[in-house]
Amino acid sequence: MRRTTLALLLLAAPMISPAGAQVSRFDMQPARPAFGGAAFGERGGYELLRGQATIAIDPADPRNAAIADIALAPRNAAGRVEAVADVLILRPADPARGNGTLLVEPPNRGRAIIGQLLNDAAAQRNGRFDEAADAGNGWMMRAGYTLAWIGWQGDPTPGQGMRLRVPAAPGVTGQVRDEFVFDNTTNPASGLLTYTPAEPAHLAITVRAKTTDARQAAPGLAVRLSAPGRVEITRPADMAPGAIYEVTYQARDPGLMGMGFAAFRDVAAALRHGEGEANPQSGRTASHAVSLGVSQSGRFLRDMLYQGFNEDTQGRAVFDGMVPHIPGSRRSHTNARWAQPGRNPSDHTDRLYPADQFPFTYADTTDPLTNRTDGLLRRCEASRTCPRIMQTDSEFEYFGARGSLTVTDPRGGHVALPPGVRAYMMTGHPHYATADAWAARGAVCANPLNPLQAGAPMRALMVALEAWMRDGVEPPASRTPSVANATLVPAGPLGRLASNEPAAAGPSLASAFTALPGLVLPTSLTPAPLLDTATDPARVMGTYPILVPRVDADGNALAGIRLPVIEAPRATYTGFNPRAAGYGEGALCTNMGSVLPLAATRAAREAAGDPRPSIEERWPGDSYIAAVQASAAKLVAERLLLAEDAAAMVAAARAGTLARLR
C-alpha cells in the first residue's frame, strides 16, 4: 500500500526511543478479526494487522557496513539510510493466551506461505486470512504463535506481493543480464526487468534451447521495452517452449538489495521486544523468536546468518531458532551491486547467478578450489548470537539444490554438523507440495508429479525446536543421507544417467532405477560450480562433487525421515523428475519429484516387467494398515511425528488416500 494512502488511515508515529534502534516508524492499519472470528481452543481468536515499517539505518554502524553500496545511498537529515518494509502480523487477540514465541517468515517471492506448510492450508487459500477455512487445520494458531511477515526483497516480485522499497545508488551504471524461461508457447511473451535500463532502446537478447547450448541471435528473435520495467520478447517460431532467453542491458541506479537483511533484522527485533509506543507489539514482548523460511526465503536465512545479520544493533540475537526449509546448500544473490534475489540456480535455469557459492555448510570447511576456510556460523559465533538451527530439506534438494554439500565438505567427505545444528531430509519428497496435492501429469515434466507434503514432520520438529530453545531438551538427531553410513553416494557421470553402465566411483543413479518400467531418468543434475563473477555471464572455474541418496529395492531413499508412505509403500517416490521433450528435455524439472505406483496385481506387475512386488503380493489382508500404524507409532516415539498426525495417517491409509494416488 502506498505511503500516501496509509497517511489517510493512520496517525504519524513517533520515533522508537532506545538508542541504536533503527525502526523509525510503524504505519499499521487497525487490528481486525482474522479467520472470520474463529476461535482456536484455549488460544481464542486471532487478529490481523497490515502496514509498513520504515527503517533508518546508520551506515557507520559496523553491523551495517557490509551492505553493498551503503556508502552511496541517499541519507535523511539525521545521516541515515531509509527503506520501507511491508509488515503483516497475525496474533492472538488476547495476548495472555499466546505461547510467547514470535514466528517470523521472510516472504517467499512476496508471499506468506507457511500456512500451507504448518497448517496444511489448501493452495487456493494461500495468503488469505478472512475465512475460517483459510486457517487450514489451524495448527499454528492452536499452538499460540504470534506470526509476522516482513518484506525483504527489493526487486520486483511476482504479483507485487510483500516487498521492501529500497533506495538506489544514484548515478551508478553497469551491465545487467536477466534470464527468462516461459515454459509455454505464448508469443510474444513478457517479463520484468530487475533494474532500470539506462538506454531503453538498446536491449540485447539471445536464446538457446538448453543451458549447455551456445547462445544465438535466432531469426525472428526480438525484444523491446513495452512498459517501465517490462520487456516484450518476440520468440522464434521454431524455438522450443522451454528455451532460455537472456536480455542484456546497461542499467542505472542499482537498488540496495542488501538492505533486505537489515530490514528483516531490525523490524523482527523491534517486534520481538515491543520497543517504543508506536510498535504494534508494545506490551506483547516475545520471550523467544523463530524464523522459518521456505525455499527462496530459506536460502535468505542461510545468507542472513552467514553475513552476520542475526545480531541486532544492540548486540542481541534476533532469533533464538532458525528453520531454513528446503534451501539445499544454497544462499541468495541479495547483498551485491546488481543483485537479483529472485534467482534460483537450477539445472535448466539461472545456473550462472552466484546464489550458491562456498561456504555451503555450517561447520568450517576448506574449499579445495580456492583454499579458503569458512562456515556459515563464523560471524554469529564471533558475536555469540547463533540461533538453534534446524535445516529441513526435501529429497529434491539432493538432486536439484546441491543438498549433499550441507552434510559434506567441498571434496565430498563426511562433515559433522555443529552441536547447535540439526539437519533432516524428508525422504521421497519433492521440493514443495501442498496438502491438497495429488499425483498428476503436467506438460513440462516427463513423469507424474510427486504429491508428498512435509507438514506433518515439520510440525513435530517445530515442537522439538520449542523444547530445545526453552528447556534445552535435545531435539531428534539429524536424519539425512550420509557418507559415513554409505547412504549418500555418487550419482555417476553427468550425461550418462540414462545408461545401465555403473560409474567408476560407485553405482550411477540410473543403475538403481532403470529396472522400473515407465520411469524417465534425467540426463543431468544441477551442478555446483565455482563462479568467477568478474564477467557476466559468470565464468565457471571449477565444480564441487554432488552426491545423491542411496535407495532401497523399491527405489525409495534409505535415509532421512521415512514417513509411513515410504515405510509402507504403494509407490516409488523420487526427488527428481526430468523435463519433457520441448522443455529442455532430460534436464531436471525444477522443484519437482516423480511418483511411480506399484502394480495392483502380480499379473499386472509381470506383464509390465516390474521387479517391485505388487500391492496384491505385498499387502495381503490388513497388513498394509498394520504397517502404517507401526511406522507412525515409531515416528511418534522418535518425536518426528505428532500423535494427531499419526492418527490422521492411519485414517488416510484406511481410506486409501495416504499415497495421494488417484
pLDDT at 662: 84
CB 503 within 8 A of CB 496: yes
**Regions of the chain with pLDDT less than 50:** 1-19, 493-507
| 407 in Cβ contact with 481 (< 8 Å) | yes
Please report the pLDDT score of residue 492 as a whole number: 67
Angle at 74 between CA 70 and CA 79, to 5 degrees: 85
Query: Which residues make beta-bridge pairs with 216?
Result: 207
In contact, 615 and 570? CB cutoff 8 Å? yes
CB atoms within 10 A of CB 7: 11
Cell of 469: 530453545
**What integer pLDDT is reported at residue 18 of this predicted model?**
47
pLDDT score recorded for residue 160: 65
Q: Nearest to residue 429, comparing CAs of 570, 661, 592? A: 592
Q: How far is CA 264 from CA 172, 272, 298, 425, in A?
A: 26, 12, 13, 27
Which pLDDT belongs to residue 21?
Answer: 66
Q: Cβ distance 369 to 410 under 8 Å?
A: yes
Quick check: helix, strand or coil at residue 578? strand
What pLDDT, on a 0 to 100 scale, did the predictor assign at position 503? 37
Q: What is the rounded average pLDDT for all residues in the chain? A: 92
Query: For residue 547, which of 480, 623, 615 has the smallest C-alpha distance?
Result: 480
Residue 460 identity (one-letter amino acid): A
CA 334 to chain centre: 14
The two beta strands, 388-394 and 203-208, are unpaired
Task: For the chain, report the end-to-end CA distance as a whole number of angstroms.
Answer: 43
How many Å apart are CA 354 and CA 357, to the nearest integer?
6
Residue 32: φ, ψ to 5°: -135, 155
pLDDT tens digits, residue range 108-123? 999 999 999 999 999 8
Is residue 265 helix, strand or coil? Answer: helix
Q: What's the grid cell of residue 456?
A: 506433518
Q: Is 555 left (phi over 0), alpha (psi -120 to 50) or beta?
A: left
Compute and round to an integer the Cα radius of gyration of the chain: 25
Cα–Cα distance measured from residue 349 to residue 382, given in angstroms and rounded to the nearest whole number: 36
Q: Which amino acid, 348? A: H
* φ/ψ of residue 547, rounded to 5: -110, 155
* H-helix segments, 350-434: 378-383, 397-400
Is 371 exposed, middle or buried, given 0-12, 13-18 or 19+ CB atoms closer than 10 A? exposed
Q: What pLDDT is stored for residue 14 in this prediction?
A: 37
Identify whether the C-beta of residue 40 lies closer than 8 Å to the C-beta of residue 138.
Answer: yes
Helices (H) and strands (E) in the chain, counts: 14, 26
Supply 658's cell numbers.
Answer: 495416504
